[in-house]
Amino acid sequence: MRIDLHTHTIFSDGDLTPSELAYRAKELGHTAVALTDHVDITNIDHVVPNIVKAAELSSDYLTVIPGVELTYVPPSKIDAMAKRAKALGAEIVVVHGETVAEPVPPKTNLKAVMSPNVDILAHPGLITYEEAKFAAGNNVALEITGRAFHNITNGHVANIARMSGAKMVINSDAHTIGNLMDERMAMTVAMGAGLTEEEIRKALNDTPYEMIKHLIK
């Protein structure tokens, strides 16, 4: 079973239509894939309803989950935006975390993990123990990412998640052909982050499945 809860299509900065991304995921052995295009207040009302349509259209291939990635949203507005995304039909809300590869607004990680409407904190960079404890308490999963440059701090994220009891998920953050990861590559990313066999099983299978099991057909 391969579940990827962080991908991008032409509705933001991805190269693939939702249908092509979904089909390519199916060909790589995925059970489910979430379409989580970048949004802020300017495009959320357009993107989410179209991603919902795309999920319905591509359901012949595999379970396609409509979602969003809140990106560069002012931290004070993250919870309200996450709630808005859910109201529009997003089943998975990802927040673009404080990766070391980009200048993300400070306190993005903190406000994301404090929100009851956020599901995943993507590539959270040098996340603190205190932030991770909030993530554990609010059931926000920390991402171990396959995305180049964002993945520089995967080992740190894994260690902090382990110390704090926060859940982990392994996602591709796919933007183009070749970014999607089959199970072997996802396991390689997990091992590179220092995850144990049990942690890999949870991050690769158990946790993402629990997050979407009510949606799998």
pLDDT in tens, 141-161: 999 999 999 999 999 999 999
Q: For residue 87, what is the enclosing H or E element?
A: helix 78-88
For residue 172, what are its two tokens? Answer: 């591709």
Whole-number pLDDT of residue 12: 97
Beta bridge partners of 143: 169
> Domain of 61?
2-212
Q: Is residue 149 part of a domain?
A: yes
How do residues 74-129 score in pLDDT, each as one tens digit?
999 999 999 999 999 999 999 999 999 999 999 999 999 999 999 999 999 999 99
Question: Average pLDDT of 186-202?
Answer: 98
Split into its structural domains, the chain has a count of 1
How do residues 66-86 score in pLDDT, each as one tens digit?
999 999 999 999 999 999 999
Q: Is residue 217 part of a domain?
A: no
pTM as predicted: 0.98
Q: Is residue 169 part of a domain?
A: yes
Whole-number pLDDT of residue 216: 83
Q: Is residue 73 part of a domain?
A: yes
Burial 35-57 (b: 16+ CB within 10 A, else e): bbbbbbeeebeebbebbbebbee
Whole-number pLDDT of residue 1: 78
Q: Which residues 6+ apart lie within 8 Å of 42 measured at CB?
A: none
Q: Which residues 6+ apart lie within 8 Å of 25 measured at CB?
A: 4, 7, 33, 61, 62, 180
Q: Is residue 14 part of a domain?
A: yes
Got the DSSP string for 102-122? S-PPTTHHHHHHT-TT--EEE
Q: Which residues 6+ apart lie within 8 Å of 88 measured at CB?
A: 44, 45, 48, 49, 52
Q: What are phi and psi of 196, to 5 degrees?
A: -75, 170
Q: Which of 66, 142, 68, 48 is nearest to 98 (CA)?
A: 142
22: CATH: 3.20.20.140
8-state DSSP, 77: G
Q: What are phi and psi of 142, to 5 degrees?
A: -95, 135
Angle, CA of 123, 128 and 129, to the nearest 5°: 120
